[in-house]
Structures are given as structure tokens and as C-alpha cells.
Amino acid sequence: MTEEEKLIEKLQRIEALFAGAATPGERNAAAEARDRIRARVREQEERDPLVEYTFNLRDRWSHMLLTALLRRYQLRPYRYRGQRYTTLMARVPKRFLDETLWPEFEELNKTLTAYLGEVTERVIAQGIEADTTEVEVEASPPTLRT
């Protein structure tokens, strides 16, 4: 099994966890988990009004991940003219955001960030320079004299 296949499997297990999968068979059925979460969103939309949220994301990868999650759960990501590329807007039931979407995003983002960091470090070490240690920290900058 390749590293990417392992990562995909791990991401699917995280999704199944947030969908409330109870048995090992359910944990392996990503489509069923997605359908359960979509049903939960629809139920919460009926009880709770949709709230417009602004998500200011730090990097392209987080932006792509949150966009994919929103679309997966049939929620429309958008941004207003003039907003930065890393800003996403979405109308989401507050309870769904608090209990499912945001915790799932954080867990998936942590997993992807770790993976991308490992790949980046490995590629740089093999292709450019093996020493990928942090830079030295000096006590203080020299004073400028005028």
C-alpha cells in the first residue's frame, strides 16, 4: 500500500468517525458515512437557521480541503468580490459547524499538514540539501548606528 493510499484510508476513517459510524463495516463504507452526515445537515437546517460564516484560511491546502468538505456535504462555498483567495464563505447550521464540520476539518487538516510536511521535507532533503534542520536563533539583532 502506497503512502497516498494509507493517507486516503486514514482520511476516510476520520470522516467515518465524525459520521458516527458504530461498526467496523460502517467505518469502511465512506459513502454511507457521507450520506449520514448529509442527512444530519438537512435535519439541522430545518431546526437551526443557516448562519453565514467567514473562514480565513492560512494556506492553499486548507482552502482546498474546506472547499471539498463543504461541497461533499452539499453546502456552497463562495467568497465576495474583493475578498482574498484564502477566504471562504458558507451558510451552515451553527450546530453542524460546531459538532461536525469544523472538528472534522481540523482533524483532516492536521493529518494532511503533517503528511505534506513530511513529503516536502523528504523531497527537499533528497533533491536539494540533506540538512533540513531549523535555522539558528541569535540573541538579538545588531544595533544600527547612524
Q: How confident is the model at residue 132 (pLDDT cuts 50, 70, 90)?
A: confident
24 within a domain of the structure (yes/no): yes
∠ CA 112-129-132 to the nearest 5 degrees? 50
More confident residue, 103 or 11: 103
44 within a domain of the structure (yes/no): yes
Q: Give the predicted TM-score (pTM) of the model.
A: 0.72
Q: Residue 28 has what DSSP assignment?
A: T
125 within a domain of the structure (yes/no): no
Question: What is the percentage of the chain residues whose pLDDT exceeds 70?
Answer: 88
Query: Domain range for residue 60?
Result: 3-116
Q: Is the confidence at residue 19, as pLDDT, over 60?
A: yes
135 within a domain of the structure (yes/no): no
Would you say 50 and 95 are in contact if contact means Cβ atoms under 8 Å apart? no
69 within a domain of the structure (yes/no): yes
122 within a domain of the structure (yes/no): no
Q: How confident is the model at residue 28 (pLDDT cuts 50, 70, 90)?
A: low
Q: What is the pLDDT of residue 107?
A: 92
- Tens of pLDDT, residues 55-103: 999 999 999 999 999 999 899 999 999 999 999 999 999 989 998 899 9
Q: How many domains does the chain have?
A: 1
145 within a domain of the structure (yes/no): no
- Residue 87 one-letter amino acid: T
DSSP strands (E only) in 63-111: 87-93
